Every structure is written in structure tokens, then in C-alpha cells.
Structure 1
Amino acid sequence: MDVDFSGKVVLVTGASAGIGEAAALLFAQYGASVALVGRNEKNLLSVTKRCEQSKGNPALAIVADLGTDAGCEETARRTKERFGRLDVLVNNAGVTARSTLQTADMQTFDTVFAIDVRGVYNLTRLLVPELIKTKGNIVNVSSISGSMVAVGSLPYSMAKAALDHFTRVISLELAPLGVRVNTVSPGVTISKIVQRVTNFTDEQYNEFLNEAAGAIPMGEVCTGEDVAKMILHLASDNSRLVTGVIVQVDGALQYAKLGNLMKKQVK
């Protein structure tokens, strides 16, 4: 990749696994100092150590729940105290839930929105003054669930649709201040998140991935690195006039009829 983040500071949320882990490692590989946020302390410290070893640049691990005001405030404070600046904010942390209107409860709704929407709004609000100073940018990680219709993930789909519109609105608000805002919208991506929410065994999860790949026009599910590479591209100077866009990384999954596939994940 023709990108260089030397001298830049990047904050990646949800960095202890999956897309966030892949993004943090790539940013470090291309010269960035990184702050990593997650709730799994063991995994987060492991990823942070690997980032430090990549180019020898500092990396900061922040164990925090971004669904709380305290977690967002601590993340913003510690990042500013450690690095004194911020160039890129990657809002990747999120939770999902498999439910329908008839099976959902309000606790599930509140949990999903607290992290996927409110936490993103709050952390971005707290850090945007730093991004204005550096003429930096924001990359939000959404999902094609926010724009396609399939039965089985109602609160998650609503949250991601809200995140997509958040990107559009604040990109217009911040453009005159030199801050770009974009979204990467993954399709089915190899991750533990689906396995956790569905209680799939390893065998069942592999079956799901194979079935999904068969329904994707390009014939493959995404890896975390596939999505991370797009995050870096949008965050780099290669995209200096790109703002307010939603970029799908899904092998054309959004245009396939996957309602029945998604329905199989609903308990």
C-alpha cells in the first residue's frame, strides 16, 4: 500500500480482535503511533505489544467500555495526555444482537445503541477539537446491515443505519474545518462476534462462512485485513478530498438476496 502515517497518531476502538486488531497493526506497520481501546485486556495488551514491535513507535492500550460516558472520557483524556495530538479516529468498536421485533427486549436495544451509536457520538464529540487542530479525519466502521434489509438483526441494523447518517451529517459539518469523515461498511467478515452472539460451534461457524461465501457474488467472505486496508486508504492522503462516503467491502453481498441466510442466525 502506498501510504505513510509516520508522525501520525491514530486511535482505534474495538482493537482487541477482528477488524480493529487488523487496522491497528496496519497503521503501526505504516509508521503510526497508535492508541488502542478494547474491553478484553489480555487480547488488547497482546495487540498493543505487536504494534510497538512493528516499527518501534509507541502504542497505548486503553481498557474501557465506550458504552459509558466514563469510558469515552477516559479514552479521550489518556490519548491526549500520552500523545498530545490526534490525526485519525477509527470508530470500530461495536456489538451486535440477533433478534426481531417480536423477540427483542429493551435491554438488548439499549446495549447495542449505547456502544454502536451513543459511544461513537460521544467519543467523536470529545476528540474532534484535536482533529481540527491536525486537519485529521475519522473513519467509522459500519456494516451493510445498515443499508440492506434482512430479517434477524433489527437493533444492530438500526444502529448501523444511524452511524451511516452520522457520517454524512458530520462530514458536511466538519468539511469547512478541514476534517474528513468516511465510513467503511463490511459484509460477512471472519470474526468471533457472530460466533459469540449465535453460540455457534467452530463447525457450525465454518458451515455458515461457507454458505455465506456461496451466496456472495465474488465468492469469498471478508477478512479483517480486507476491511483494514480500506480504512487505511480512506485515512491516508490518497483520499484527501474524499469525505462523506460509505464504502462497501463485501464482495457485492449487499446486492445479493441473503434474507434467508441471515434468518438462520436468529434464535
Structure 2
Amino acid sequence: MSFKNKVVLVTGASSGIGAAIASKFAEEGASVIIVGRNETKLKEVEAKCQRNGAKVLMLIADVTKDNDVVKMMRVAITWSGHWGIDILINNAGIAETADIWDENAMEVYERVIATNLRSVVFLTHLAVPYLTKNKGNIINISSIGSFAPLSTGYFAYCASKAGLDNFSRAIALDLATKGVRVNTVNPGPVRTDGFQTVGEEELNKFGAMTALGRISEPDEIADLVLFLASDKAKAITGSSFVSDNGTLLKRN
């Protein structure tokens, strides 16, 4: 799959799934705009993309701040030569927890919704004119938490991801007439930075939750994203793709 002459914007690109997605697109010839808050880690991703010969723009931004997002888009469009972007990957997200009876329940809910859902809506709103012009596509990184709560304390996270899935389907219908495709990828447990801190014993516990007895690597999710962004998936829009090693199956 070649993405030569394509411009891809990836949020939450400083580590984990976002970093893997950016790197994979760079390997396939895309120009990559990487967005994140951790400058040190983002520079590492930038260097990796550049080693693959890609043109890279690194942007430090907080997607929950409208001013940051507006500035980010302005810089990105100028950098791309006003051609805009072809592929938008909304990957930035948090999984902060609280029980509904906790004093901080609404604070947690508002932070999670702001990051996982509202920021996606706003960035998509700003990007759509360029995606429409380029007949591009949008891939939103959701979660199997949109289908079922996998643990207690995740009411905000599950609500945000369920909202993200339905938002994606709604705009897929809206944008189909403009030639823009929209899909979601819904991972289960993935070996990201958050998991690295828990130790191998805890990782094995997460693996035991899955039917296949393993957790995914970020590159596996990135491969699925690249497929959906390619012409090989030109008939696919408004769909959610689960990659969870059978976690949902084992719950049945």
C-alpha cells in the first residue's frame, strides 16, 4: 500500500498506537503530521519517520483546547502547501477512571469526554473542507469499551467511545455524498506505554482475558488502520473494526 503524495494527520502520536500509525504511514511514503503533548517522545517519533524518508511536521498541542486545535490546523495546512490533508487519524484519548458515586465523577467524565469525543468532533469539523476536496478519509481510534464495560469505573470512557462510534457512523452518512469515508478501529488490550508500567505478570493477566491468550502490539492496530485508509477499503465506510484477540468473545 503506497501513500505517496498523501498527507496524514495523527493525533496522540507521541507513543503507542499513534506512534505506530505515524511510522507505518511514513514507511509507505506519506507526509506525516504528528500531534501530541510530550515533546520528547514526539521527537523520537519524528526521527523514526524521517529515517524512513518521510516529510514530517511535529506539532505540540492539546486537543482539548480549541485555540491549540485551530492553530494546529492552520500550521498544518500552510505546511502542506494549502493542499490540506488526505487522511485524519483521531487517536488521542485517555482512560481516566471513577465510579459514578465518587465525588470527582463529573470532573473525570468531563475530562474524558473532552479528550475522547469533543476534540474529535471539533478537529473533524475543521478538517472536513480539506478532506472533501481530496476525497480523503477519517479513521477514529475507538475501543471495545464502546460495546461493553470490561471493568468497573470506566463509565466515562465507555460513554465516550460509544459516542465516538455513533458520531463516526453519523458523519460517514453525511460525508459519503462528498466522497469521504469514515470508519473506527476498536482495539482490545494493546501493549502501549500505559501497560509497560504494570509489569509482565499483569500483562499476562490481560492476555488471559482474551480468547487467543495474548494482547496486541501497536503495529497490529496500525496495519489495520493503513488498510482502511487505502484504496483496498474503498467500499468500506461507517464500519467499526474490532481487533481484540477475542476479548469480547470470552465475555459471552
Give the TM-score of the pair, scaled to structure 2. Answer: 0.95
Deviates more, 1:80-89 or 1:13-22: 80-89
Matches within 5 A, 1:1-267: 3-54=1-52, 56-83=53-80, 84=82, 85-103=84-102, 104-150=104-150, 151-193=152-194, 202=197, 204-257=198-251
Alpha-carbon RMSD: 1.3
TM-superposed CA distance for 1:152, in Å, is 2.5
User: Given that residues 27 and 54 in structure 2 are in contact (C-alpha distance below 8 angstroms), is that contact kept between their aligned partners in structure 1?
Assistant: no
The alignment partner of 2:251 has SS state of coil
TM-superposed CA distance for 1:115, in Å, is 1.0
User: Given that residues 96 and 193 in structure 1 are in contact (C-alpha distance below 8 angstroms), is that contact kept between their aligned partners in structure 2?
Assistant: no
Q: Among the aligned pairs, what percent are the same residue?
A: 39
User: Given that residues 68 and 114 in structure 1 are in contact (C-alpha distance below 8 angstroms), is that contact kept between their aligned partners in structure 2?
Assistant: no
TM-superposed CA distance for 1:224, in Å, is 0.6
The alignment partner of 2:148 has SS state of coil
- Unaligned ranges ≥5, structure 2: none
User: Given that residues 21 and 225 in structure 2 are in contact (C-alpha distance below 8 angstroms), is that contact kept between their aligned partners in structure 1?
Assistant: yes
User: CA-to-partner distance for each residue in 1:135-155, whole Å, 9 max, x for gaps?
Assistant: 000000000011113323110
Provide the rounded CA distance (Å) in 2 between the counterparts of 1:117 and 1:194: 23
TM-superposed CA distance for 1:46, in Å, is 1.5
Query: What amino acid does structure 1 have at the position aligned with 2:56?
Result: A
Aligned residues: 248
User: Given that residues 87 and 135 in structure 1 are in contact (C-alpha distance below 8 angstroms), is that contact kept between their aligned partners in structure 2?
Assistant: yes
User: CA-to-partner distance for each residue in 1:182-228, whole Å, 9 max, x for gaps?
Assistant: 00000011112356xxxxxx4x4422210121221111101111111
The alignment partner of 1:166 has SS state of helix
Provide the rounded CA distance (Å) in 2 between the counterparts of 1:128 and 1:191: 30
Provide the rounded CA distance (Å) in 2 between the counterparts of 1:23 and 1:141: 11
Provide the rounded CA distance (Å) in 2 between the counterparts of 1:179 and 1:148: 29
Provide the rounded CA distance (Å) in 1 between the counterparts of 2:217 and 2:245: 11
Provide the rounded CA distance (Å) in 2 between the counterparts of 1:108 and 1:245: 28
Deviates more, 1:13-22 or 1:144-153: 144-153
Q: 1:57 to 1:215 in 2, by over 3 A?
A: closer
Provide the rounded CA distance (Å) in 2 between the counterparts of 1:75 and 1:33: 16
Which 4+ residue blocks in structure 1 deviate beyond 4 angstroms? none
